[in-house]
């Protein structure tokens, strides 16, 4: 909302400068987001009269004028404006005048000059050149009775306008009077209510049936006045200026007055042309289903039975608190008007405004809450202004249909409680002084407490905590003492649920991966790239923002593929990435609604920064596997295994399942070709998906010291020909299962196929390490075990020893 300081000064003493006042208001909760200054006319611009105008000899559009600046001299001025006619009184920037660029650019100084060979001693100005308006059609013509030689700045005093950012709870700030009240509470001075003086109206029963309210639940108070014989015309310049300063377009005197009073006192008002009301009467009721109205914006609205309307005896003439109807508005021919000032239920106005997708300054105020105590005053103020500016006669008394007033809350204020909430020393007296300054009634109870009754416009003050806020706000939050931070432990830190998640991230980062953070909302196609899911499994909000963001991701796959596509298209070809995030599914057989997953992706060169041969090394299956092994070992989860798997997301034969503690915990391998189609990805992509829960709950190896043998190890190698399908894991677990004495490690060191071995067969070679904790092993005993292993391999596994 915008507030003009010139306007504000009508009601309250402004004894601090605009910047300081803005600071004070901001610090007490009324945030001044922006200070806009209407430019002041520079010094040196004076009023002057054009004595004569001649055509410039060397120009089609310039004129040469003789101008009287009021000091007895006559100045020759070259001017390009179309309206520099003799007799006009205009602003003249005399030599030496400096125009400052409002944007902070270069200053512009008026000097003696020659235009197309003719000397010119100053510049006559348009309204825009003086920063007074956007009018640049010609010179600003001043009234003919304007004295000459006077500074123009005296005629156009500058104004400062605040752009206020209001909080939801303070609709009482939605008017100049409302802001003035708080300025008064903060800065003191004098507070003066504008004039509401009205002549007495003769007693009459003519208007007894003027207003009928059939929906008092939605309209607890409705008032009307009738003014006869008004003249609809432009409103005076001062009013137009004030409205323009705060961004409201002047229309005519009657409409401008209703807007002016709304901006002044915060009560939206409406004026009906009484001659356009069927039977000249007003009925406040719920709309009937199927009723329609054309509002002042020229659009048609379908009304429903829950909406409150103002109607005549035939049809709706306004959407209550939102917008008037086109049909009953003020026209140039209007003579008799009904002035409405009312209080509507805020939820009703909000619902109507939302349903019709129609909002206005009026609905903005009613939705937040209009001061019910201001309704009569606003009516009187507007009537006062109408009579003054539009003439006519007030013919009716105030016609009011209202429910009995709801008593204001009485809030118990315990001084100690407020001090405890704020952690600030504030005396009882200071608290009650603050309440009184804010227009609240204070009823002392005893030394410890009092009752506080807020005024009708402070709908936000309903409980003790609200009073604490008022004390903090007015006394100043800067007065909060510096207290030491209390580092109290309220729970075991082992309950910290973020730390284990961060640890998984740390472990993944330590393997060399970069973390991505992708959107949880994706399009259906990307979501279904993960072939585990069907459309029925997807979790979709009923109100997505677009089709691209219509689905809660069922897995991290779609997002990761997007990241890879983005990077590849920007020639970032070597990628080692991961993401951890929430995924969503409606099918409890797949997973219950929401869980966290881990996704890893590898593609491109392993050592892109090196050259020649090294650069051709691409990430492969065993990079991904080794990464997982490193990761799991770093996390202390030793109980893992890998098992060949088949999955449509992965290339056949290049996919494995990760088993943790005997349970499937993830799957990885080379991405199926379908996933990367159209991506211009020329290197194989390896992906891994894991469930975070499985990682977090995996058994951890207790970290106990293992004695280190002081005795040397002995190794023996064994090589054999095995069928091509023979898995490494089969050999190793076969050897380990034999539990041979002092055998501490078995490692594959060679594997190959060639013609001499023959098709369907391969050569495998293992290195066996023997070591004892308590002695140096002799060759004989090692050889004995070694021979046993060889023979077991030959007979148990059926391989052909070499």
Partner 1 sequence: MELLEKIQSIVAEAGQALASAKTESDVEEVRAKTIGRNGSFTALGPLMGKVPPEQKREAGKAFNEAKQNLLAMIEHARESLAGAAEAGAQKLDVTLPGRKWHAGRKHPISQTFDECCAIFRRMGFLATGGPEIETVFNNFDALNAPPDHPSRSPQDTFFFADGRLMRSHTSPVQIRTMLARKPPVRIVAPGRCYRRDTPDATHGVHFHQIEGLYIDTDVSLADLKSTLMTFAAEFFGEKIRVRMRPSFFPFTEPSVECDFTCVMCGGKGCKVCKNTGWIECAGAGMVNPNVLKNVGYDPENCQGFAFGMGIERLTMIKHRIEDLRMFSDNDIRFLAQF
> Least Å distance between CB 606 and partner 1?
9
Nearer to partner 1 among residue 22 and residue 45 (C-beta): 22
Cβ distance to partner 1 smaller for residue 65 or 580: 580
Report the residue count for the chain: 802
Of 233 and 582, the one with the shorter C-beta distance to partner 1 is 582
Site string for partner 1, 8-27 (x = CB under 8 A): ------------------xx
Report residue 41 as tokens: 């006319």
Closest distance to partner 1 from the beta carbon of 623 (Å):
10
Rounded Cα distance, 64 and 53, in Å: 6
**Interactions with partner 1, residue window 431-460 (CB under 8 A):** 460
- Residues numbered 407 to 426 that lie near partner 1 (CB under 8 A) are 420-424
CA separation for the pair 657, 647 (Å, rounded) = 10
CA–CA distance, 782 with 769 (Å, rounded to integer):
10
Strands 575-585 and 514-515: parallel
Closer residue to partner 1, CB minimum distance, 143 or 484: 484
**By CB under 8 A, residue 782 contacts partner 1:** no
What is the closest distance, in whole angstroms, from the C-beta atom of residue 344 to partner 1 in the complex?
14
Q: Per CB under 8 A, which of residues 29..48 are in contact with partner 1?
A: 29, 31, 34
Please report where in the chains the tokens 């100005």 appear, as a residue. Answer: 125
Question: Per CB under 8 A, which region of 83-91, 209-217, 490-498, 681-689 contacts partner 1?
Answer: 490-498
Q: Does the protein bind partner 1 through residue 544 (CB under 8 A)?
A: yes
Helices of type H across 270-412 = 346-356, 361-368, 375-390
Read off the tokens for 222: 């409705």
Query: Rounded to whole angstroms, how far apart are CA atoms 643 and 790?
Result: 26
Regarding 526 and contact with partner 1 (CB under 8 A), the answer is: no
Q: Which helix (H) or strand (E) holds 122?
A: none
Residue listed under structure tokens 């009601």: 11
Toward partner 1, which CB reaches closer, 116 or 680?
680
Output the CA–CA distances (angstroms, integers) from residue 611 to 126, 549, 738, in the order listed. 71, 42, 46
Among 17, 73, 206, 496, binds partner 1 (CB under 8 A): 496
Task: Look at strands 685-691 and 593-603 and give their pairing.
Answer: antiparallel
Does residue 225 belong to the site contacting partner 1 (CB under 8 A)? Answer: no
Residues 288-347 that bind partner 1 (CB under 8 A): 346-347
Interface with partner 1 (CB under 8 A), residue from 20, 206, 593, 693:
593
Which CB sits closer to partner 1, 158 or 476?
Answer: 476
516 part of the interface to partner 1, by CB under 8 A = yes
Give the 3-state secondary structure of residue 680: coil
Cβ-based nearer residue to partner 1, 339 or 552: 552
From the CB of residue 398, how many other CB atoms can be counted at a distance below 10 Å?
A: 18
Q: Identify residues 603-632 at the interface with partner 1 (CB under 8 A).
A: 607, 609-611, 614
User: 459 is written with which tokens?
Assistant: 């709908």
Site for partner 1 in 549-588 (CB under 8 A): 549, 552, 563, 566-567, 570, 572, 575-578, 581-582, 584
* Site for partner 1 contains 744 (CB under 8 A): no
How far apart CA 671 and CA 565 sit, in angstroms, is 14
Nearer to partner 1 by C-beta: 563 or 777?
Answer: 563
The crossing angle, in degrees rounded to 10, of helices 779-792 and 728-737 is 130
Q: Sketch the per residue contact string, 158 through 197, with partner 1: x for CB under 8 A, - otherwise.
A: ---------xxxx---------------------------
Using an 8 Å Cβ cutoff, are 293 and 319 in contact?
yes
Give 140 or 508: the residue with its C-beta nearer to partner 1.
508
Scan residues 350-409 and list those touching partner 1 (CB under 8 A).
Answer: 350-351, 354
CA distances from 6 to 128, 161, 184, 196, 487 (A): 21, 8, 16, 20, 51
Strands lying side by side in the sheet with 323-324: 211-213, 282-286, 308-311, 316-319, 323-324
Instruction: Give me the least distance between CB of 567 and partner 1, in Å please.
Output: 6
Min dist. Cβ of residue 395 to partner 1 (A): 40
How far is the CA of 289 from the CAs of 258, 293, 322, 351, 664, in angstroms?
30, 12, 18, 16, 60
Cβ 787 vs Cβ 744: under 8 Å: no
Give the footprint of partner 1 on residues 455-484 (CB under 8 A): 460, 463-466, 468-469, 472-473, 477-478, 480-484
């Amino acid at each position: 909302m915008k507030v003009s300081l010139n306007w504000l000064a009508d009601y309250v003493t402004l004894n601090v400068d605009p910047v300081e006042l803005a600071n004070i208001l901001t610090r007490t909760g009324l945030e001044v987001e922006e200070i806009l200054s209407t430019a002041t006319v520079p010094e040196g611009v004076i009023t002057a009269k054009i004595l004569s105008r001649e055509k410039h000899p060397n120009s089609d559009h310039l004129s040469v004028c003789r101008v009287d600046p009021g000091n007895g001299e006559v100045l020759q001025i070259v001017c390009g404006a179309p309206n520099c006619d003799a007799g006009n009184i205009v602003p003249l920037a005399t030599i030496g005048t400096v125009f400052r660029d409002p944007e902070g650019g270069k200053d512009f100084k008026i000097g003696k000059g020659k235009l197309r060979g003719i000397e010119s001693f100053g510049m006559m100005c348009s309204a825009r050149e003086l920063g007074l308006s956007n009018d640049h059609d010609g010179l600003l013509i001043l009234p003919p009775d304007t004295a000459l030689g006077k500074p123009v700045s005296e005629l156009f005093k500058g104004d400062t306008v605040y752009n206020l950012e209001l909080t939801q709870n303070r609709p009482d700030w939605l008017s100049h009077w409302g802001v003035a009240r708080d300025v008064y509470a903060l800065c003191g001075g004098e507070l003066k209510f504008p004039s509401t003086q009205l002549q007495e109206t003769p007693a009459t029963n003519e208007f007894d049936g003027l207003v009928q309210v059939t929906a008092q639940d939605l309209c607890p108070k409705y008032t009307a006045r009738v003014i006869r014989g008004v003249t609809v015309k432009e409103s005076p310049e001062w009013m137009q200026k004030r409205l323009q300063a705060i961004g409201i377009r002047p229309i005519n005197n009657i409409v401008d007055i209703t807007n002016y009073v709304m901006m002044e006192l915060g009560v939206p008002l409406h004026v009906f042309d009484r001659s356009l009301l069927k039977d000249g009467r007003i009925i406040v009721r719920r709309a009937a289903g199927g009723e329609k109205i054309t509002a002042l914006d020229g659009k048609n609205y379908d009304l429903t039975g829950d909406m409150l309307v103002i109607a005549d005896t035939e049809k709706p003439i306004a959407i209550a608190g939102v917008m008037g109807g086109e049909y009953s508005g003020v026209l140039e021919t209007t003579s008799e008007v009904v002035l409405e000032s009312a209080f509507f239920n805020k939820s009703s106005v909000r619902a109507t405004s939302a349903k019709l997708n129609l909002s206005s300054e009026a609905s903005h105020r009613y939705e937040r809450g209009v001061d019910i105590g201001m309704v009569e005053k606003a009516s009187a103020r507007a009537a006062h202004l109408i009579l003054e500016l539009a003439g006519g006669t007030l013919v009716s008394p105030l016609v009011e249909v209202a429910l009995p007033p709801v008593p204001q809350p009485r809030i118990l204020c315990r001084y100690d409680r407020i001090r405890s909430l704020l952690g600030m020393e504030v005396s009882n007296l200071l608290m009650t002084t603050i309440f009184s300054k804010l227009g609240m009634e204070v009823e002392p109870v005893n030394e410890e407490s009092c009752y506080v009754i807020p005024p009708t416009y402070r709908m936000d003050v309903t409980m003790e905590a609200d009073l604490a806020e008022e004390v903090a706000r007015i006394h100043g939050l800067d007065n909060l003492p510096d207290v030491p931070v209390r580092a109290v432990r309220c729970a075991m830190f082992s309950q910290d649920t973020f730390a284990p998640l961060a640890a998984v991230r740390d472990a993944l980062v330590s393997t060399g991966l970069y973390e991505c953070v992708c959107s949880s909302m994706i399009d259906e196609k990307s979501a279904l790239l993960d072939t585990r899911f069907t459309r029925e499994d997807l979790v979709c909000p009923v109100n997505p923002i677009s089709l691209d963001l219509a689905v809660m991701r069922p897995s991290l796959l779609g997002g990761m593929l997007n990241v890879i596509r983005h990077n590849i298209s920007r020639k970032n070809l070597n990628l080692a990435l991961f993401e951890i995030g929430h995924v969503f599914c409606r099918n409890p057989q797949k997973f219950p609604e929401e869980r966290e997953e881990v996704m890893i992706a590898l593609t491109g060169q392993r050592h892109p920064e090196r050259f020649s041969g090294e650069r051709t090394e691409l990430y492969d299956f065993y990079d991904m596997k080794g990464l997982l092994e490193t990761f799991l070992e770093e996390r202390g989860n030793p109980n893992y295994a890998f098992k060949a798997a088949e999955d449509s997301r992965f290339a056949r034969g290049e996919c494995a399942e990760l088993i943790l503690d005997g349970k499937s915990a993830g799957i990885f391998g080379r991405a199926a070709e379908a996933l990367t189609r159209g991506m211009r990805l020329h290197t194989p992509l390896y992906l891994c998906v894991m469930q975070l829960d499985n990682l977090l709950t995996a058994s951890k190896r207790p970290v106990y010291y293992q004695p280190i043998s002081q005795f040397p190890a002995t190794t023996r190698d064994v090589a054999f020909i095995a069928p091509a399908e023979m898995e490494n894991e089969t050999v190793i677990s076969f050897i380990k299962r034999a539990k041979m004495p002092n055998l501490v490690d078995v490692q594959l060191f060679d594997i190959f196929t060639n013609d001499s071995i023959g098709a369907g067969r391969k050569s495998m070679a293992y290195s066996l390490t023997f070591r004892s904790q308590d002695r140096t092993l002799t060759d004989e005993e090692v050889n004995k075990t070694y021979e046993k292993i060889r023979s077991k391999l030959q007979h148990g596994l059926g391989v052909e020893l070499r």
